[in-house]
Amino acid sequence: GQNIDQPTEMTATEGAIVQINCTYQTSGFNGLFWYQQHAGEAPTFLSYNVLDGLEEKGRFSSFLSRSKGYSYLLLKELQMKDSASYLCAAMDSNYQLIWGAGTKLIIKP
């Protein structure tokens, strides 16, 4: 079957760095996506990886290892506004997104 695993909840300190891991098993693979979702709001697109390696976008970076079925989202210089859920999604061979349940990130001052 197809499956996405990510931690349910993480806590970090303002100004610090946090890494949110995601492992996936899909029938075929056409990319790994990260979305941010603030409580009570819609998800918003953060990043896309289809090749192995690191993609950097400001304070946020995303890494992919296709051979390991593994990705992580790295958030640097954490700010209180980064408190949100982070959703990992993998695209299968039919171009359908398989979603993880999300990681709730709590930022403490």
- What is the contact surface with other proteins in residues (CB under 8 A)? 4, 30-31, 33, 35, 41-45, 48, 87, 89, 91, 95-102
**In the complex, minimum distance from the CB of residue 96 to other proteins, in angstroms, rounded to a whole number:** 7
Residue 64: name the closest of 95, 30, 94, 93 by CA: 30
Place of tokens 């931690």: 7
CB nearer to other proteins: give 9 or 77. Answer: 9
**In the complex, minimum distance from the CB of residue 81 to other proteins, in angstroms, rounded to a whole number:** 18
Place of tokens 């079925």: 69
| Contact predicate 34/50, CB 8 Å | no
CB nearer to other proteins: give 29 or 70. Answer: 29
